[in-house]
Amino acid sequence: MTKQRICLDARIRDPSVGGVQQTIMGYAASLSLTQTDYEYLFLVNSQAEWLTPFLGDRCSILGNKHPGRVLLEEKLRKYALVRTVGAYTKHVGQRSVKPPRVNTSTELAGVDLMHFTRQDAFLTSVPNVYQVYDLQHLHLPQFFKPATIRQRELQWPQFCNRAQRIVTMSEWTRRDVIERYQLEPSKVAVVPHASLLEMYRRPTPTAIDALRHQVPERFMLYPAQDWPHKNHQRFFEALSRLRRVDGERITVVLTGSRSITKGSLGAHLERLGIEDQILDLGFVLPSTLLALYELSESLIFPSLFEGFGLPVLEAMSCGLAVACSNCTALPELIGDAGLLFDPRDVNDIADKTALLWTDQHLRERLARQALERSQQYSPNRTGQALVDVYRSVLANDPTSLEGRGGQGRWESRGPKNTSPPPAR
């Protein structure tokens, strides 16, 4: 009997940045561990060295037949939308935008199901699963260009309507997508992420020793790109208040690409007078990040918006104490295994940061709880949740996930997040 083929969209232009890459790598690793009769193809535009280490026996690469033409069509389509969306919404309301059939790669490969993992999609003759990471543009529109918001709101609801199933990474995001786009709850399933740290190449003792001499003796870790919602400036203001008012000098190591701020974070640190407390390493390799998790005392995560919160899970899986924001999907992820604070309140950020920094017994207790809670988020459970979604689509059974709240085999054991989403 021929195995059914499931194709996951892995056409990433720059695999060095962004959480989509981490998600696809996690899916490859998780599906490789899950026993099924399915075959998994990962559609890529070019070489995929970043993905191949995570591919198991049932996973393989599917090359795009016309990657150059694909990129051109995507650019032209987005350019046309930016130019015309204002006129459409003004004169005829929200216009139906039909995604293009990019090429015949998936059809030639005999794909039975398409999983769009990038919040983009193309027309296909087979059923599809559509991934929604978050709807941040609706909650924090000040961080997005108006054209980007209009484009997303023209496309994403239609991609959701065209899909047989929609996948989110947290229950908070699932409820948000159902409410915002008025979807049937049984259509949206939760497939949470799993930490991949155990699958990364471990740093050598020599590399760890070299890094130990580069970082402060004691430090908190904040791994995040410089997106506005990552809330670096409020966090810096909290550190400044602690130093100015309480005399508490807390050292922090930052990681993540700096494509947006380009030096303005450093200027802000100088204005606050805390530049000697911050070491910004920028983008680091996975092995270096793993070493930083091992060397740091705790993780601080003051983000304003998260559809899941992978760095928090990674820290938990390393047995690190965590203090993070009390909004969106983060309380669901961390449960009672960490400190929560209001990311818009500088005083609350400062108080919880100082508490985690000064109370060793608290750090040790939270570290034990975090490690225990992280066991809920394993590649095996992620893979099984994905397979449940795929099986329900291939069986054409819209009710197969209803008995589990639309979540497949996944059941979140943490408290529900009752906090409202960030203010507009």
Q: How far apart are CA 189 and CA 409, in angstroms?
A: 10
Q: Nearest to residue 40, comparing CAs of 383, 380, 382? A: 383
pLDDT of residue 87: 41
Is the CA virtual torsion 187, 193, 194, 196 positive or negative? Answer: positive
| Spatial distance between the Cα atoms of 128 and 350, rounded to a whole number of angstroms | 45
Quote the CA–CA distance of 317 and 315 in Å, as a whole number: 5
Beta carbons within 10 angstroms of residue 371's beta carbon: 16
Q: What is the pLDDT of residues 18-56, one digit of tens each?
A: 688 889 999 999 999 988 889 999 999 877 888 999 999
Q: How far out from the chain centre does Cα 231 lie?
A: 16
Phi, psi of 165 (to 5 degrees): -140, 150
The reply to whether 5-194+379-404 and 197-374 are identical in fold is yes
Write down the domain spans for the chain.
Answer: 5-194+379-404, 197-374
What is the architecture of the domain spanning 197-374?
Answer: 3-Layer(aba) Sandwich (3.40)
Do the beta carbons of residue 193 and residue 169 sit within 8 Å? yes
The model scores a pTM over 0.95: no
pLDDT at 32: 93
Q: Quick one: pLDDT at residue 260? A: 72
Parts of the chain with a pLDDT under 50: 68-69, 72, 80-94, 402-416, 418-421, 423-424
* Predicted local distance difference test score (pLDDT) of residue 198: 83
Please, are residues 346 and 245 in contact by the beta-carbon 8 Å criterion?
no
Q: Is the dihedral of CA 420, 338, 279, 359 positive or negative?
A: positive
- One CATH from 3.30.450.40, 1.10.1200.10, 3.30.499.10, 3.40.50.2000 for 5-194+379-404: 3.40.50.2000
Which residues contact residue 222 at a Cβ distance below 8 angstroms, ignoring those fewer than 6 apart?
A: 232, 235, 252, 253, 254, 255, 299, 300, 301, 302
Residue type, 135: L
